Chain A
Amino acid sequence: MTTLDAREPEGPLQEKWDRRREKMSLVAPNNKKKHEIIVVGTGLAGGSAAATLGELGYNVKAFCIQDSPRRAHSIAAQGGINATKNYPNDGDSVWRLFYDTIKGGDFRSRESNTYRLAQLSNNIIDQAVAQGVPFAREYGGELANRSFGGAQVSRTFYARGQTGQQLLLGAYQALLRQVDAGKVQMFPRREMLDLVVIDGQARGIIVRNLVTGEMERYSADAVVLCTGGYGRAYFLSTNAFNSNATAAWRCHKRGAYFANPCYVQIHPTCIPQSGDYQSKLTLMSESLRNDGRVWVPKKKEDAGKPPHQIPDEDRDYYLERKYPAFGNLVPRDVASRNAKYVCDEGRGVGATGRAVYLDFRDAIQEQGRDLIEDKYGNLFHMYHKITDEDPYEVPMRIYPAVHYTMGGLWVDYELMSTIPGLFVAGEANFSDHGANRLGASALMQGLADGYFVIPFTVGNFIANDFQGKVDTSHEAFDKTEADVKAHIKKMMSGGDEDSRTVIEIYRDLGKVMYDKVGMSRTKEGLEAAREKIVELRQEFWNGVKIPGTPDGYNKMLELAGRLADFLELAELMAIDASEREESCGGHFREEYQTDEGEALRKDEEFSYVAAWEYGEAGDWTVHKEELEFENVKLSTRSYK
């Protein structure tokens, strides 16, 4: 059994990262070129890590599913990225961002990692600007900032509504510069399907070439996994279509612990599902809640009426009613949960009854249409395009959707998993956001990990723990590749006339996850979910319809492989949610709430990270990393 040692540095919080860096062993410049590093994923985390490792002189191989590294899911991030520059002079500091992140995460994250994240935030902005990232500017030529996600300071940097795109293109360009320099070899349209472990260390990967269908093997001295989150376990989410947990899950099955799988963020302002054919949900920026008022009819009977026929006295502005201090600006989890409640009561609106109104009537009356258009024009346009309804005339309809996963592979302070030599960065790890992530901090984390942490910690590992070269003729590669091939063969061999398709089973999984492992959870619900997940998994392995062959481009086969892994991860999510008998952040257990219906944390019992170890029998054992708060005082969130 691996022990959980987070390897946190000694000393005061403010000095931990510097002290660690001073003590790290270095790889000499002329030795770096003798070392190979694999980076899987080219989103913000992977793109920045691969580029930086290449610049340092390592030989890097980078892999991604898309046809180009520029298309990773990070590209879709809209709102912005936090940093503590304090340009607006409104009192921001590293400490404040650290504290907000810890508190926002409902005191379920590791202090040392979170502090480092806040410390590195400013370097990211300097780095991006040096690369030519066109952030929004003021007329005086300085960078513009805005307040985001209810923060009390303006610390969010942005590039219109396309911050993720511009930051990713910055990292991508840096990456391609290293491709040109011969330091990074890029392997697009590849899917990692397994990790090769030799003598307990991560030494390579098996990937499927998504064009030819061939298996390929690559060896390295360290593997850095930057493969994003697992929100697609819910089928419908704001995540990109190809987002998946496969790489992380296969590493988990080879010995990497999976931490806090039940922590999922469900974003309140998304365009609701319009029919059974729906393939994904579109996020509408949270900033809309600054001016839009959320309501549903007071009476069930009115739910089907056009909104303008419902007079004010028959409308329930439920967030303003329940949370007079914060009103429509309550945090994401609170807003989401309350939307679910009113829809469960039968007061939801729209064709499916699973939506609430976000109404700009009053804001337009008070501020004028021009000002509203100036602030939200592009969002209104997008909404209009997707729904064919004009939000200047009729209220928007919104509903929560799965958006981000705080859980992920367990990593220590140096972002190394429980498999030595396997590092995990970005959304794929569990490290910095506790039970709930603040807006504009995922981009920050991905880039902090990739530009400023991984390049040092991987070097430290190689300097101290490198165990000599291996190559892909090693028998471990034969064995792992054979496992992967057998897995695919088994998937493709079961289906017959009567079997259901991958999508049919996948949609059922998504439904049970939303219903029972979503915004509001109960013991019974979680148990029922687990049963259903196991049942779906059995159905899948008894036979699922997959067209074509494994020897070539085959999207459905790709999807089937990802579903197979989600059918296991989903069960672990339900188990983790069931064992965490408290409510915290995005994890809300109906049994554990205050008299006023708010989340009830139980710090005495549950102030730990649950890191799950995979057992041979397909079962799990939990290991607990106790969270020690030496610098902040635990408090209860209140938005009344």
Chain B
Amino acid sequence: MAKETITVHLKVWRQNGPNDQGRFETYKAEDVNVHMSFLEMLDVVNEDLVRAGDDPIAFDSDCREGICGTCGFVINGQAHGPEPSTTVCQLHMRSFKDGETITIEPWRARPFPVIKDLVVDRDAFDRIISAGGYVSVGTGPHQDANAAKVGKPLADRAFDAAACIGCGACVAACPNAAASLFTGAKITHLSLLPQGKPERSRRTRRMVHQMEKEGFGNCSNIGECEAVCPKDISIDNIAKMKREYLRAIFTDS
């Protein structure tokens, strides 16, 4: 049977605000139960820091179930760490070896300034959605939900795109810091469904322009985004976005 507890050495990026230079600090985590999640391991390290009167490592998390998209940092060079299709909060210490050194850094991308240590500002994502990532209907009486039929395969494809949790791993993993997977997923979700069709061009144009305005880079089809995505959002969404954008330049619907 594999060992139930391990010792790991952490090299953690510490940075006190966007204007601080930042540096790596090292910590040793002993007797780490392999069934702990990665964030629980950090909780334990932080408890020790607090007890010693030191400043705990700042990181964000909320649901700890892989659905809210709050958590996320780079582990040993990989966004969300070594397990495929897994957020940091769902990663367990059994994925690491006894004695291993683990390097932990924040998402690094110009549009995501560091707030503290591993916490970054991802407001740019909200501004992209705000530019058009919705169907322009108000609250009120609408036609019966079954009036517009949507075939199951189409509904499933829309769902696959809509499953994005907005964590930002795609941006962090991309050498160009492109936000195309994030933006493409929302454009795809809404343009596939009949409800999203009427404003499909306007939406695409506005979202893409906002993405550029925020300083995200251009997609050059490297595919790192898809590889690190904890929700398996497909790179096809980017191709779809590009097609939608071309179409949007020429049409108004």
Contact with B along A157-180 (1 / 0, CB 8 A): 001101001100100111011011
Interface flags, A275-300, vs B, CB<8A=1, else 0: 10111101000000000000000000
Q: Which residues of A contact B11 (CB under 8 A)?
A: none
Segment 384-429 of A: residues with Cβ below 8 Å from B: 385-388
How many angstroms between the C-alpha atoms of A123 and B61 in the bound complex? 33
Q: Is the CB of B64 within 8 A of A134?
A: no
B55 touches A (CB below 8 Å): yes
- CB-CB contacts below 8 Å: B139-195 with A: 139-146, 148-152, 155, 158-159, 162-163, 165-166, 189-190, 193, 195
Q: B44-64: contact bitstring with A at CB < 8 Å (1 yes, 0 no)?
A: 100101110111101011111
Q: Chain A nearest CB: distance from B199 CB in Å?
A: 11
Q: Which A residues between 172 and 198 are near B, CB-CB below 8 angstroms?
A: 172-174, 176-177, 179-180, 186, 188
Residue among B56, B69, B134 making CB contact with A547, cutoff 8 Å: B56
Interface 9-mer from B101-109, B114-122, B211-219, B238-246: B114-122
Alpha-carbon gap, A139 to B49, bound state (A): 56
| A74: nearest chain-B partner, CB-CB | B68
Binary interface encoding of chain A residues 209-223 relative to chain B, with 1 for a CB under 8 A from any of its CBs, else 0: 001000000000000
How many residues of chain A have a CB within 8 Å of chain B? Answer: 79
B125/A68 in contact, CB under 8 A: yes
Least CB distance from A391 to B in Å reads 16
Expressed in whole angstroms, the minimum distance between the Cβ of B194 and any Cβ of chain A is 9
Determine whether B9 belongs to the interface, using a CB cutoff of 8 Å to chain A.
Answer: no
Assess the A241–B162 pair: CB atoms within 8 A. no
Question: Could you mark each residue 69-104 of chain B with 1 if its beta carbon is under 8 Å from any beta carbon of chain A, else 0?
Answer: 110000000000000001000101010000000000
Contact A68 B126 (CB under 8 A): yes
CA distance A547 to B49 in the complex (A): 9
- Check if B25 is an interface residue, CB within 8 A of chain A: no
Is B6 engaged at the interface, CB distance under 8 Å to the other chain? no
Give every chain B residue within 8 A of A159 (Cβ-Cβ): 159
Interface residue SS majority, chain B? loop
Q: Which residues of B contact A462 (CB under 8 A)?
A: none
Contacts of A444-479 to chain B: CB distance below 8 A: 451-452, 455
B193 near A387 with CB under 8 A, answer no
Q: Report whether B150 and A501 are in contact in the complex, using a CB–CB cutoff of 8 Å.
A: no
Contact B69 A71 (CB under 8 A): yes
Asked if A545 is an interface residue, CB under 8 A from chain B, the answer is yes
Interface: B123 (CB within 8 A):
yes
Q: Which residue of B lies closest to A130 (CB)?
A: B142
Out of B39, B47, B119, B149, name the residue touching A501 (CB < 8 Å).
B47
Q: Are B193 and A553 in contact (CB under 8 A)?
A: no
Q: Judging by beta carbons under 8 Å apart, are A388 and B35 in contact?
A: yes
Q: How does the 8 Å CB contact mask read for A102-142 relative to B, with 1 for contact and 0 for none?
A: 00000000000000000000010111111110111111111
> What residues of A have a CB within 8 angstroms of the CB of B158 in the complex?
132, 134
- The reply to whether B62 and A211 form a contact with Cβ atoms under 8 Å apart is no
Is the beta-carbon distance between B151 and A279 smaller than 8 angstroms?
A: no
- A134 near B56 with CB under 8 A, answer no
**Provided the pairs A132-B190, A451-B139 are in contact, do residues A143 and B146 lie with their beta carbons within 8 angstroms?**
yes
From B37, B40, B51, give the contact of A545 (CB < 8 A).
B51
**CB contact under 8 A between A126 and B141, given known A176-B126, A277-B36, A280-B64:** yes
Provided the pairs A126-B142, A165-B67, A275-B36 are in contact, do residues A131 and B135 lie with their beta carbons within 8 angstroms? yes
- Cβ proximity bits A479-512 to B, threshold 8 Å, 1 near / 0 not: 0000000000000000000000111100000000
**Cα(A556)–Cα(B40), bound, Å:** 15
Tell me the minimal C-beta distance from A7 to chain B in angstroms. Answer: 23
Residues of the B chain whose Cβ atoms lie less than 8 Å from the Cβ of A136: 155
Contact with B along A231-263 (1 / 0, CB 8 A): 000000000111000000000000000000000
State whether the Cβ of A353 lies closer than 8 Å to any Cβ in chain B.
no
What's the Cα separation between A132 and B196 when bound, in Å? 7
Q: A71-B62, A137-B150 are in contact. Are A556 and B56 (CB under 8 A)?
A: yes
Given A137-B151, A241-B61, answer yes or no on A55-B138 (Cβ-Cβ < 8 Å). Answer: yes
* Interface: A154 (CB within 8 A): no
Q: Kindly state whether residue B33 has any CB partner on chain A within 8 Å.
A: yes
In the complex formed, the residue of B with least CB distance to A547 is: B50
CB distance from B113 to the nearest CB of A (A): 11
Bound: A242/B155 CA distance, A: 33
Given B92, B132, B150, B152, which contacts A386 in the complex, CB threshold below 8 Å?
B92
Quick one: given A126-B144, A129-B195, A547-B55, are A73 and B62 in contact (CB under 8 Å)? yes
A70 cross-chain contacts in B, Cβ below 8 A: 69, 126, 129, 166
Query: B-facing mask of A65-76, CB < 8 A → 1, else 0?
Result: 011111111011
B49, B119, B136, B145 — most chain A CB neighbours (10 Å): B145
Nearest-neighbour CB distance to chain B for A549, whole angstroms, equals 10
Closest residue on chain B to residue A210 by CB atoms: B115
A134 touches B67 (CB 8 A): no
Contact, CB under 8 Å: B67 / A76: yes
Q: Are A553 and B58 in contact (CB under 8 A)?
A: yes
Smallest CB gap from B48: residue in A = A501
Measured in the bound complex, the distance between the Cα atoms of B189 and A177 in whole Å is 17
A87 on the interface (CB 8 Å rule)?
Answer: yes
For A141, the chain B residues whose CB sits under 8 A away are: 149-152
Q: Are B51 and A240 within 8 A (Cβ)?
A: no
Whether the Cβ atoms of B62 and A241 lie closer than 8 Å is yes
Do B86 and A68 touch across chains, with their CB atoms under 8 A apart? no
B158: min CB distance to chain A, Å: 4
Chain B residues lying within 8 Å of A123, measured Cβ to Cβ, are 141
User: B116–A553 contact, CB under 8 A?
Assistant: yes
* Cross-chain contact A68 with B67 (CB below 8 angstroms): no
A240 & B144 in contact (Cβ 8 Å cutoff): no
Q: A67-B121, A556-B50 are in contact. Are A55 and B139 (CB under 8 A)?
A: yes
| B248 CB-CB contact with A under 8 Å | no
A555 interface residue (CB < 8 Å to B):
yes
Q: Is A51 an interface residue (CB 8 A)?
A: yes
Q: Known: A55-B138, A76-B65. Is A552-B145 also a contact (CB below 8 A)? A: no
A275 to B4, CA, bound (A): 12
Task: Establish whether residues B149 and A140, one from each chain, have CB atoms under 8 Å apart when the complex forms.
Answer: yes
Instruction: Report the minimum CB–CB distance from B160 to chain A (whole Å).
Output: 9
* Bound form: Cα–Cα A63–B125 in Å: 17
A265 interface contact, C-beta 8 A: no
Instruction: Indicate whether B133 reaches chain A with its CB closer than 8 angstroms.
Output: yes
Neighbouring A residues of B36 by C-beta, 8 Å: 275, 277
Contact of B64 among A125, A140, A241, A501 (CB under 8 A): A241
The residues of B that contact A503 with a CB separation of less than 8 Å are 43, 47
Minimum CB distance partner of B151 in chain A: A141
Closest Cβ–Cβ distance, residue B182 to chain A (whole Å): 12
Judged by a CB distance under 8 angstroms, whether A52 is at the interface is yes
Question: Given that A132-B189, A553-B115, A556-B50 are known contacts, is A282 also in contact with B65, CB under 8 Å in the complex?
Answer: yes
Beyond the given pairs A66-B70, A67-B60, 9 more chain A to chain B contacts, judged by CB atoms under 8 angstroms and listed by A's residue number, are A71-B166, A129-B145, A129-B195, A137-B150, A174-B138, A176-B133, A240-B68, A241-B63, A552-B116
* Interface residue ranges, A against B (CB under 8 Å): 48, 51-52, 55, 66-73, 75-76, 85, 87, 123, 125-132, 134-143, 159-160, 162, 165-166, 169, 172-174, 176-177, 179-180, 186, 188, 211, 240-242, 274-275, 277-280, 282, 385-388, 451-452, 455, 501-504, 545, 547-548, 552-553, 555-556
A-B contact pairs, 5 of them (CB 8 A): A70-B126, A76-B65, A132-B134, A173-B133, A240-B68
Residues of B within 8 A of A (CB): 17, 33, 35-37, 39-41, 43-44, 47, 49-51, 53-56, 58, 60-65, 67-70, 86, 90, 92, 94, 115-116, 119, 121-123, 125-126, 129-146, 148-152, 155, 158-159, 162-163, 165-166, 189-190, 193, 195-196
List of 6 A-B pairs having minimum Cβ-Cβ separation, nearest first: A141-B149, A173-B134, A137-B155, A129-B145, A130-B142, A176-B130
